[in-house]
Structure 1
Amino acid sequence: MKGEQIPHKMLSEDPFSTWMGIEILECEIGRCKVGMKVRGDMLNSMGKAHGGISYTLADTAFGFIANTHGKYAVSIETSINHIEALNEGDYLVAESVIEKVNNKLGFNIIEVKRGDELIALFKGVVYRTQKDWEE
């Protein structure tokens, strides 16, 4: 299976990301841009988007990017810095700005933006298995 096809397969088999409304905007090997709109049922008790919303979007982008190299890759460590609060109706985009891959590990930094405004920074490390993605 070609690397840029893998995220589409992953999304089609991911009910949680589908429920979130995540869509693939662009995808190629080592790069994937995803987006979603914040809905009312994603807000916390303060009327702002729950922190898990931007985290989930970034984590989904991270998983897609890591797997575009054709091998199953699984997350082993992640973290996020929340920079700005999010509101209902905000459209968010997550994209990797740094990727470093070696035989067993992959490292990514993902920016989450609302328009041109940086709202979160996500860092992730994946373990790259030797299992190939198949059609």
Structure 2
Amino acid sequence: MNGEKIPFKMLSQDPYSTWLGIEILESELGRCKVGMTIRKEMLNSMGKAHGGISYALADTAFGFAANTHGKYAVSIETSINHIETLNEGDYITAESVIEKVKNKLGFNIIEVKRQEEVVALFKGVVYRTNKEWIE
């Protein structure tokens, strides 16, 4: 399967990312950029976006980019640093670039942004299986 098409297939089979309203903005081999708008039901008790929202967006970008190389890839360790709070109506993006595919493990740092402002840093380790994406 063409690598840049894999994220679109993944999104079509992903009810959680679909519920979040995640959209694929750009997709190519080793790279995927996604975005979404913060909705009222995503807010915490302080009226700010729950930390899991920016985490989920970055994790989706990470997973989609890792899979563009044609093999099923799954995250095995991830973490996030929240830098700025997010509000209802904010549009955020996350872009994952995974350039080197030399072994079973891949490492990535993803910036979650509100326009040009970095609001979170996500770090991930992905494991590449031998299973291939097929049409």
Specify the TM-score bucket, using the shorter chain as the normaliser.
over 0.9
SS of 1:52's equivalent in the other structure is helix
Q: In 2, are the aligned partners of 1:101 and 1:107 still within 8 Å (CA)?
A: no
User: For the structure 1 residues 54 and 128, does the alpha-carbon distance in structure 2 shift closer, same or farther, using more than 3 Å as the test?
Assistant: same
TM-score, normalisation: structure 1: 0.97
Structure 1 alignment gaps of length 5 or more: none
Alpha-carbon shift at residue 98 of structure 1 (Å): 6.1
Q: Aligned partner of 2:91: which letter?
A: Y
Q: Aligned partner of 2:36: which letter?
A: M
Q: In 2, are the aligned partners of 1:71 and 1:129 still within 8 Å (CA)?
A: yes
User: CA RMSD for the aligned pairs?
Assistant: 1.0
Alpha-carbon shift at residue 7 of structure 1 (Å): 0.3
Q: Please name the residue that 1:49 is paired with.
A: 49
TM-score, normalisation: structure 2: 0.97
Structure 2 alignment gaps of length 5 or more: none
Aligned sequence identity (%): 81
Alpha-carbon shift at residue 15 of structure 1 (Å): 0.4
Q: Aligned partner of 2:32: which letter?
A: C
User: For the structure 1 residues 14 and 6, does the alpha-carbon distance in structure 2 shift closer, same or farther, using more than 3 Å as the test?
Assistant: same
Q: Deviations over 1:22-42 (max 9, x none)?
A: 000000011100000000000
Q: Aligned partner of 2:83: which letter?
A: I
Alpha-carbon shift at residue 101 of structure 1 (Å): 2.9
Alpha-carbon shift at residue 103 of structure 1 (Å): 2.0
SS of 1:124's equivalent in the other structure is strand
Q: Please name the residue that 1:22 is paired with.
A: 22
